[in-house]
Amino acid sequence: MKKDIILCGVGGQGILSIATVIGEAATASGLHLKQAEVHGMSQRGGDVESDLRLSTEPVNSDLIAQGTADIILSMEPMEALRYLKYLAPDGAVITASEPLVNIPDYPDHEALLSELQALPDVTMCDIGSLALESGNARSANMVLLGMAASRIGLVTPDGLREAIARVFSAKGEKVVEANLSAFDMGMAAAERRTA
3-class secondary structure for the chain? CEEEEEEEEECCCCHHHHHHHHHHHHHHCCCEEEEEEECCCHHHCCEEEEEEEEECCCCCCCCCCCCCEEEEEECCHHHHHHCHHHEEEEEEEEEECCCCCCCCCCCCHHHHHHHHHCCCCEEEECHHHHHHHHCCHHHHHHHHHHHHHHHHCCCCHHHHHHHHHHHHHHHCHHHHHHHHHHHHHHHHHHHHHHC
**What backbone phi and psi angles, to 5 degrees, belong to 103?**
-135, 150
The amino acid occupying position 76 is: E
Smallest CA-to-CA distance from 34 within 16, 15, 58 is with 58
Q: Which residue numbers in the chain have pLDDT < 70? A: 38-45, 193-195
Reported as type and span, the H/E element at residue 75 is none
C-alpha Rg value of the chain to the nearest Å: 15
pTM: 0.92
Cα 142 versus chain centre, distance: 8
pLDDT tens-digit readout, 118-170: 999 999 999 999 998 887 888 999 999 999 999 999 999 999 999 999 999 99
Q: What is the pLDDT of residue 40?
A: 57
Q: Calculate ∠ Cα 125-127-133, nearest 5°.
A: 120
- pLDDT for the residue 144: 97
Q: What is 2-98+111-194's CATH topology?
A: Pyruvate-ferredoxin Oxidoreductase; domain 3 (3.40.920)
